[in-house]
Structure 1
Amino acid sequence: MKDLLRLFIAINFSDDIKLNLFQLTEILKKNTSRGHFTARENFHLTLAFIGETKDKEHVIEAIDNAVEKGKIHAFQLEFGGFGRFKGRDGDIFWVGVKKHPVLTESNNELIRELKTFEFKVDDKEFKPHLTLGRGIVLKNGYTIKDFEQIIPPMTMTVKEIGLMKSERINGRLVYTEVYHKNLL
């Protein structure tokens, strides 16, 4: 019997980008009274969230079909801007991703292909961002503007997309790539 997997499709970041993001979270940690921060190895950009399924094979087929249609190819990803979603118990802090037609089309095409296999996927407007932390409360005297000013310009070439499995291991959230598709 197949196991139930919690899956999503993502762009995994280079070690340099992960290091930059990790350094930002370390600065943020020093200037917060509380929060839960993304682990260095878990930084990624979600293209499509599938959720729990036993049908990994059809997710892989959807990825292959989307890429082979030619609308998803290698491109330059540029990070830019900062944002937060306000919450009752603290805020979610995130770094933005600049709009790129291939990035938007990647999301659209993956959603279309996943729907052909009857996956229930979110097809709301794609707002790419990467979460630095959740439940964040800044210390008195440290402002959003202080944090915004330290975010460095970052770019990377996206050469592949990955199918990721999400699971808790010993109380820790772990993302493992179970498949990847190279982009031309």
Structure 2
Amino acid sequence: MRCFIAIEFDENTRNTLASIQNELKNQGVQGNYTRIENLHLTLKFLGEIDMPTYLDICNLMKKVSRNHELFVLELGKLGKFDKGNKKIVWTGLLGNKHLMSLFRDIESGLEDIIPIKKESRYIPHITLIREAVLNSNDISGIEKHHKLGYSFKAPGISLMESTRVNGRLTYVRRAYENFIA
């Protein structure tokens, strides 16, 4: 299965992100919008994993989650990545030491399980649109509508499978671990 470790969002957070997407649509930004049920924060993309690896990752998630408390994340500015001719529009998250510590613990634990590419720099972001077609080269006009200051809780981590259901990209939770309270 093709998997990644993520932080999933509650309904209010998904709705807030969907309202940002709607504002982007109203500004004329076209592209492949992330479906509301697929919105998440990727901590680490794993690629294809087999069952023994899946079990090892579940154990790692248990271990890591016991060393982290629930924490709060806050939406940051909109941004874009250029991937060839295609653009990805995302919303960032404000700097968060808890998130960065969690990322480092996951990446460190994975070293003993699967060959991973160490991130030179982790840029926490939530993908809103893939293959975005922007009217101009920047998104500064869109930023005035952005929900800066919106905060939400990160209660745990999920192991997600990326699959297609009836031809649609779907993320299915395969494991979940709460942080300590």
TM-score by length of 2: 0.90
2:55 to 42, 54, 57: 57
- RMSD across aligned C-alpha pairs, in angstroms? 1.8
Return the letter of the residue paired with 2:9.
F
Q: Distance in 2 between matches of 1:33 and 1:159?
A: 32
What secondary structure does 1:86 align onto?
A: strand
The question of 1:113 aligning with 2:89 is answered no
| TM-score of the two chains, using structure 1 as the length reference | 0.88
The one of 14, 22, 27 equivalent to 1:26 is 22
Structure 2 stretches of 5 or more lacking a match? Answer: none
The one-letter code of the counterpart of 1:121 is: I
Whether 1:77 and 2:73 are equivalent positions in the alignment is: yes
Structure 1 stretches of 4+ with a deviation exceeding 4 A read none
Q: Which amino acid aligns with 2:19?
A: Q
1:168 aligns with 2:164: yes
- Out of 145, 148, 161, the position equivalent to 1:150 is 145
**Counterpart of 1:64 in structure 2: which amino acid?**
K
Greater CA drift, 74-83 or 30-39: 30-39
Q: CA deviation at 1:143?
A: 6.4
Identity, % of aligned positions: 29
Preserved contact between residue 27 and residue 142 of structure 2 (Cα < 8 Å): no
- How many residues in Structure 1 have an aligned counterpart in Structure 2? 176
Cα displacement (A) at 1:139: 3.8
Distance in 1 (alpha carbons) for counterparts of 2:82 and 2:31? 13
Could you tell me whether the CA contact under 8 Å between 2:78 and 2:139 is conserved in 1? no
1:67 counterpart letter in structure 2: S
1:33 to 1:107, Cα distance in 2 relative to 1, 3 A:
closer
Q: Deviations over 1:140-161 (max 9, x none)?
A: 7x96222101111311111111
Give the letter for the 1:120 counterpart.
P
Query: What residue in structure 1 maps to residue 174 of structure 2?
Result: 178
Q: Which amino acid aligns with 1:27?
A: E
Structure 1 residues without counterparts, runs of 5 or longer: none
Listed one character per residue, the Cα deviations across residues 24-64 of structure 1 (whole Å, up to 9, x for unaligned) are 21222233363111100001001111110112101101111
